[in-house]
Amino acid sequence: MSDAAQPTAAEVRAAAEAVKTALDRHLAAVERRSGEDDPAVSEAFNQLAAAAEAYDELLYDRFDEVTPFEIPSADEALPPYAGPEEPNAISVLIRRDYTVAEPQRLLAQAQRVEAAEYDAVDEDDAAGTVPGALGVLFGEFEPDEIASRHKEFGLEEGDSTLWVTAAEEPPEAGEWLEAPFEHIDPQQVVCRFDVSAVFDDEVSDDEDDIDFVDEDEEEEDGDGELEPVNAEK
């Protein structure tokens, strides 16, 4: 890394302060936790992990030093699998977070859906409010379609996670509908897949090693003359 690109000592100090703040928030969340799967504790954990990783990187870039912190991956955060060896049933649990980045676009899309269904849109209809518009759109489109077209609906993607759990037998119909996300045994989780901005830096580091071919480059023949690239190669 060049001297011009190195972080300043003040930036390293600010990152260290961010770790201290994240530690305090994590401890406070743990002290107030409402159960084993309290989302506030999970969020505080992720913030602490991100702050510690950022500090570690800046410390190394500036001073060529490292910390003893080790941030566990999602797989390492799960206990060892103790479910059935040959499960007869699985459950897929999905969480996707979005920011309502463009409320007017969201409302307009919901109003189009209502207009197509009812030939008219009343200002007092559900599509006239953000919660109502969300209900209309998620009632009309599959979650996967909304995920792939989120920008059309004025949404911005946040973190997401997918868990696959195993069981000996499928649950009875309607058994878990009142509380679908409670009583999940971590040892029954076969696998999980997470997407988070926390991991973006890792991807960026990998991309730095990729060599891109200039679109204007053409192959040269043995005489040094340019030879058109064969499109069938």
Whole-angstrom Cα distance, residue 132 to residue 127? 5
Contacts of 136 (CB under 8 A, 6+ apart): 110, 113, 114, 126, 127
Q: Kindly calculate the radius of gyration of the chain based on its CA atoms and give it in whole angstroms.
A: 25
Predicted confidence (pLDDT) per residue in 27-55, tens digit? 999 999 888 778 888 889 889 988 998 99
Neighbouring-strand partners of residue 93 = 163
Q: What is the pLDDT of residue 35?
A: 81
Give the pTM.
0.53
Average pLDDT over residues 212-218: 47
Q: How far apart are CA 84 and CA 170, in angstroms?
A: 13
* Two structure tokens written together for 115: 């207009």
Q: Each residue of 96-118: pLDDT tens digit? A: 999 999 999 999 999 999 888 76
Q: Summarize pLDDT for 123-178 with one digit per residue, the tens.
A: 556 678 999 999 999 999 999 999 999 999 999 999 999 999 999 999 999 999 99
User: What is the pLDDT at residue 71?
Assistant: 63
